């Protein structure tokens, strides 16, 4: 990471795009949240339903 004379950070285009969220990250988040909800629902049905 380079800095110019005024102290501002100067990045290349590749360095600036490294944190970009793509569709695969969104799908991973959706699937993991869905599985967490499913596991919590099954746990609730097993232990707390009379």
28 pLDDT tier (thresholds 50, 70, 90): very high
Note the pTM of the prediction, 2 decimals: 0.55
Q: Which residues neighbour 15 within 8 Å (Cβ) at sequence distance 6 or greater?
A: 1
What's the chain's Rg over C-alpha atoms? 22
Q: What is the pLDDT of residue 30?
A: 94
Given a cut of 90, whether residue 9 has pLDDT beyond it is no
| Average pLDDT of the segment spanning 23-45 | 94
């Amino acid at each position: 990471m380079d800095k110019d004379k005024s102290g501002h950070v100067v990045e290349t285009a590749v360095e600036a795009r490294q944190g970009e969220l793509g569709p695969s990250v969104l799908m991973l988040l959706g699937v993991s949240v869905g599985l967490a909800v499913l596991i919590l629902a099954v746990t609730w049905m097993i232990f707390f339903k009379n």
